Amino acid sequence: MGQRFTLLLIFLGVQVGAGAFKICAFNIRSFGRAKAANRRVMGALVQILSRCDISAIQEVRDSRGAAIQTLLRELNRYDPSHHYSRLESKRLGRGSYKEQNIFVYRMDVVSVTDWCQFGDEDARNYKAFARGPFAARFHSPYTAILDFVLLLHHTSPREAAQELELLFGVCTELMQRWKTENVMLLGDLNAAGAYIPASAWAGIRLRNHLAFHWLIGDGEDTTVSHRTCCAYDRIIVHGEELLGAIVPRSAKPFNFTQALGLSEEEALAISDHYPVEVNLRLAPKAQREL
């Protein structure tokens, strides 16, 4: 990739902010110590994630936590204008396979005021999830909306339709618990292709209830491989205040293959998913300060 690649990465880093607050969800396929030790992969991940004020990361596999520590260290080294921190879910999964959901965020721009892990043993209503959803409440004085909730979930492919329906209840519970309407559900929901039969959509309230807005459309491609074209990864918004704070037409996959000038093989070494992202408008005062 050479000098052209390096210059392009620097250019992407300069674009951070650009009058908006960026949230992304990224399934970094099997992120663990092997990827953390790969300088080329980590270099690309840092460039991708440093574009975002909050990154909702999925498929973190390292049980010792060393991989995410390395990622945080490299992010803070690359972008010293911000300080990146993290909020981790439990290790999730029914059997020996476990993974984590992790929010990586700029703690000088946004703070976590509360969090909630669903699917614990005493939460009988949510045992059907293969991996319990993870929610966090955020506050930022810089955005057009001060407080909002992010609900991060990675559905089981075989149970995607059932889990999408269950997520309606999770969103409802969060709104009641935290007394807010402003909830954004995001992540690898496997909400496309053979995982959701056409006949199943009619029974998914999250899809049909008018209060929920699907910002990543069915026609988007969130997959890296040329052999697939599916909108597995989604961003779904509830709450008119939150919806009104979103920059129009900002919700989209970030095609890092094209942006970083990678081959398909190089891109797949990073992940088989593209991040999905959306921008929140800055508060008027923040536009002058940031």
User: Range with the lowest mean pLDDT among 17-21, 181-185, 252-256?
Assistant: 17-21
Catalytic annotation, residues: 99, 154
Residue pair 256/274 in contact (Cβ under 8 Å)? The answer is: yes
More confident position, 125 or 6: 125
Q: What is the mean pLDDT of residues 152-177?
A: 96
What does the pLDDT read at residue 128?
84
Q: What is the mean pLDDT of residues 186-201?
A: 95
- Total Cβ atoms within 10 A of residue 175: 17
Q: What is the mean pLDDT of residues 68-85?
A: 96
- Strand 183-188 with 147-152, pairing: parallel
Report how far residue 253's alpha carbon sits from residue 234's, in angstroms, rounded to the nearest whole number.
9
Residue pair 276/24 in contact (Cβ under 8 Å)? The answer is: yes
> Where residue 289 falls among pLDDT bands split at 50, 70, 90?
low
What does the pLDDT read at residue 17?
47
pLDDT above 80 for 1: no
Share of the chain above pLDDT 90, in %: 84
What does the pLDDT read at residue 125?
66
- Strand 183-188 with 134-139, pairing: unpaired
Q: pTM for this one?
A: 0.91
Q: What is the mean pLDDT of residues 29-56?
A: 96
User: Of 72, 109, 108, which Cα lies nearest the Cα of 88?
Assistant: 72
pLDDT above 60 for 5: no
Name all domains of the chain by residue range, CATH numbers in brackets: 2-289 (3.60.10.10)
Report residue 208: phi and psi, to 5°.
Answer: -100, -15
Q: Contacts by 164-170 with C-beta closer than 8 Å and gap 24+?
A: 164/189, 164/191, 164/196, 164/204, 164/206, 164/207, 165/203, 165/204, 165/205, 165/206, 166/126, 166/128, 166/129, 167/133, 167/206, 168/204, 168/205, 168/206, 168/209, 169/125, 170/118, 170/126, 170/133, 170/135
User: Of 232, 237, 188, 235, which Cα lies nearest the Cα of 209?
Assistant: 237
pLDDT above 90 for 6: no
What does the pLDDT read at residue 126?
72
User: CA of 82: how far to CAs of 10, 78, 271, in Å?
Assistant: 16, 10, 25
Bridge partners (DSSP) of residue 184 are 150, 237
User: CA of 159: how far to CAs of 36, 77, 99, 191, 203, in Å?
Assistant: 30, 40, 17, 10, 14
- Give one DSSP letter per residue of 103-150, joined into a string: EEEETTT-EEEEEEE---TT-GGGTT-SS--EEEEEE-TTBSSSEEEE
User: Range with the lowest mean pLDDT among 119-133, 203-217, 219-233, 246-260?
Assistant: 119-133
Report how far residue 230's alpha carbon sits from residue 22's, in angstroms, rounded to the nearest whole number.
23
| Locus of tokens 């990678």 | 262
pLDDT tens digit string along 96-152? 889 999 999 999 999 999 999 997 554 556 778 999 999 999 999 999 999 999 999
What does the pLDDT read at residue 121?
52
What does the pLDDT read at residue 284?
85
How far the first Cα of the chain sits from its last, in Å, is 32
pLDDT tens digit string along 84-93? 999 999 988 8
